[in-house]
A and B are shown apart, each in its own frame.
Chain A
Amino acid sequence: MADIATFERGIHPRYHKELASGKPITQASLPQRIVVPVSQHIGAPAKPEVNIGDEVKKGQLIGSATGFVSSPIHSSISGKVIAIADFPTSAGKMVQSIVIEGDGKDEAVEFKENPDYMSLSSDEIRNIIKDAGIVGMGGAAFPTNVKLSPPKEKPVDTVIINGAECEPYLTADHRLMVERSKEVIEGLKIIMKSLGVKEGHIGIEENKPDAIEAMRFAVSGGSNIKVWPLEIKYPQGAEKMLIKAIKDREVPCKGLPMDVGVVVQNVGTAVAVYEAVRFGKPLIERVVTVTGKGVNEPKNMMVRIGTLMSEVIEQCGGLVEGAVKVISGGPMMGFAQWTLDVPVVKGTSGILVLTEDEYVASDDYSACIRCGSCIDVCPMGLNPSILSIYAEKGFFEDAKENGLFDCFECGSCAFVCPAKRPMVQFIRLAKSQVKP
């Protein structure tokens, strides 16, 4: 087992991947109407470039980037802009969104193809990626071109493709690696090219043997790309944990992967990069895993950005009796939804529906019994127990002293806590009360 890489601590939740891991990616039906929020990424929101009443085509720019850390948005269908107003999003906020009523024709703008894409320069690649509106598709949605433009004093020597998919239930990246392994590799090569990097890695948790095999087959021949089976452990797919596992480098506290010369990109992002650079296609659709016991037919679907979750769920046979919680993303870090009329956005990796018997109430918690379990699992080596106690008592500054801002809210501490303390909630409360 010596070649199984991993990080220290972490947890072993039940994975439930079997619900959707064997389901090939299917095309979701053309949505009647899409809602495209101007802010689907970290950074400045896009500025709407269309007006109510305008006709738009699939792939047309409808909002432009407004700064370096920002990302444009595109229409994923053809039709007419019928509203530009605030609508609920899956992150729980109201965000300005462009609503487009489809005309059913699905007419696309002309995409600029690049058959000879490997001869493009770094800058050309970065510009295409920026204009295509590509952001990290694992959930954080950080604009990809920014990650590909490290400052001079931080030389990058390694690119890692994150195929860990450590969140339970989700299988979107898994399916992409199995079905479109060549495109993942091409995407990786393009990213490496744009960074001028010689070394590429792909990390995949061991519970996806078919993906590991497919990726190994796809790289055979290219010796500078290595496929790594990783231990099945949450949060293996967190950037810092992944870098530790594969490169044995520790990203410094408050630092970024590029501080240790690494850029991490998600599997879906690699495919989007390939499609943008090769075919000129902007990011207007993504693979979404619709899964959980609460949905009738779990599926992996290629969904247009802006499609309402209710519509996606409908195409999976709807909710079952007793479905109580709908989550955008995975069960560990995803957001619970109060309405299903929120759009799928660039960072939506999954829609998970939990039933009554899977649901755990977190309002009935007790005092910390100081069992130390949370300390034993925190991947960031923090003391979540003390963080939660400080937050509970209002000592936010003390929480900060104890590494509050190193916590990336993975939820491992809350998962193991026998007193069922809402650790992440406490931590978020503290974070909102002090400056980093």
Chain B
Amino acid sequence: MIIVREEKLVEKKEHPLIVSVSPHVRGEETVSRIMWSVNLALLPVFIMSVYYFGPRAVYVTGLCVLACVLSEYAFQKWLRRKVTISDGSAFLTGLLLGMNLPPGVPFYIPLVGSVVAIIITKQLFGGLGYTIFNPALIGRAFVLISFPKLMTIWYKPTSAFVGLDATTTATPLGILKEGGLGQLLEIFGDKMHLYEKLFLGNTAGSLGETSAIALLIGAGYLFYKRYITWHIPLSFLATVGVLAWIFGGKDIETGKLIFFAGDPLIHLLSGGLILGAFFMATDYVTVPTLRKGQIIFGVGCGLITMLIRLKGGFPEGVMFAILLMNCFSPLIDRQVRTKPFGAVGEKKK
């Protein structure tokens, strides 16, 4: 008996046992699984963008994705780092950047935006996990400031995948800012029509921001997979809704502010709010990790968004709101603490 055992042990010596620190079993979640799931969640949004803006949507988004992935590859090769393009995060940055661009931009805008997003915002800071700002949003902010004209030409959507309509127009928020609610209703008929078009995405805007329904389907998937929680999106949207209701109302004739008369739905459905709240303000790396802090973050985003929309020079403020709040994430994380188990036990005795 013992001899048999010793034989086995000798055998084992050639095939040593693996020693590592506990735990010895791990969950199934991986970074790349999460990233690719978010990419998948954007699929309905992408399809809707192609539906409304035709091949241009494929062209612009494709360029972004390609440029993002390639620049990450090239940069990591150059520095002899581990190439991480398969984790899906560069792809996601590209996809999000594409979804944030107007349909008619010339080819160099996606390229510049991608390089700024990946190389400057992500890789120079240390890669995934170390970024301070949401890379896609920095990319977009950069091209918006560098090419303000080209970045604000909006096309009317056409339906059924045919292509880009030649007519340019302003976005609903642009119209609201310049001409007020009256003009918006003139263009869209009545409120019901306006809501419907905003909900489906049949309005001018960035490729992926117009269709609320497609965005919500994707977000629903992320909730179902538990990749995002309600804390940021809900606090963000609620803040925007409440502020829009309180401060968004204007007398159509005189243009004077009327309190508690705003239309929250218009503000909630238009612009990049839904895209931002569910897909950008939930980017793990650049937002607070603690749930309480996330609510602060969401409320902050909502405040800045509405400040810009109602008072600022731009019709839309989601991008700047998220970027500004990104700066505060480390600070928020430092202030908010978890409650350790047993921290209240003392007083009970």
* Residues of chain A whose beta carbon lies under 8 Å from any beta carbon of chain B: 8, 11, 13-14, 32, 168, 240, 244, 249-255, 259-260, 310-311, 314, 318-319, 324-327, 331-341, 352, 354, 358-360, 362, 366-373, 375, 378-383, 385-386, 403, 406, 409, 411, 414-420, 422, 424-425, 428
Contact = CB atoms under 8 A, between A and B. Distances in A.
Interface in B321-349: 333, 337-346, 348
Contacts of A338: 16-17, 19
B145 interface: no
B2 A32 contact: yes
Nearest to A14: B25
Contacts of B129: 366-370, 419
B345 A381 contact: no
Given A260-B345, A341-B9, A370-B285, A380 B340 contact: yes
Given A310-B9, A336-B19, A411-B22, A375 B342 contact: no
The 3 closest A-B CB pairs, nearest first, are A367-B129, A411-B23, A252-B345
B236 to A, nearest CB: 17
Given A251-B345, A259-B345, A338-B17, 10 more contacts: A254-B342, A324-B17, A325-B18, A327-B24, A337-B17, A362-B21, A370-B285, A372-B284, A411-B22, A424-B22
B344 A250 contact: yes
B341 A379 contact: yes
Interface stretch (B27-35, B61-69, B247-255): B27-35
A251 B128 contact: no
B209 to A, nearest CB: 25
B311 interface: no
Nearest to A251: B342
B341 A381 contact: yes
Given A251-B342, A331-B23, A424-B23, A260 B348 contact: yes
B134 to A, nearest CB: 13
Contacts of B84: 366
Nearest to B337: A383
A369 B348 CA distance: 37
A359 B34 contact: no
Contacts of B339: 381
B187 interface: no
Given A325-B18, A326-B17, A375 B338 contact: yes
Contacts of A326: 17
6 contacts: A13-B27, A252-B342, A253-B345, A318-B8, A340-B17, A372-B291
A418 B126 contact: no
Interface size classification for chain B: 35 or more
A432 to B, nearest CB: 12
Contact of A360 (B26, B287, B289): B26
Contact of B22 (A240, A260, A409, A416): A409
Interface of B: 1-2, 4-5, 8-9, 12, 16-27, 29-31, 33-34, 84, 126-130, 284-285, 287, 289-291, 333, 337-346, 348
Given A325-B18, A369-B129, A372-B291, A332 B23 contact: yes
Contact of B20 (A259, A352, A362, A368): A362
B34 A255 contact: no
A409 B21 CA distance: 10
Contact of B8 (A319, A324, A428): A319
A392 to B, nearest CB: 11
Contact of B27 (A11, A340, A366, A403): A11
B291 A416 contact: no
B128 A369 contact: yes
B5 to A, nearest CB: 5
Contacts of A418: 29-31, 33-34
Contacts of B337: 383
A354 B341 contact: no
Contacts of A414: 22-23, 26
Most buried by A among B23, B34, B340, B341: B23
Contacts of A359: 18, 24
A386 B289 CA distance: 10
Nearest to B291: A372
Given A337-B17, A341-B9, A372-B290, A240 B25 contact: no
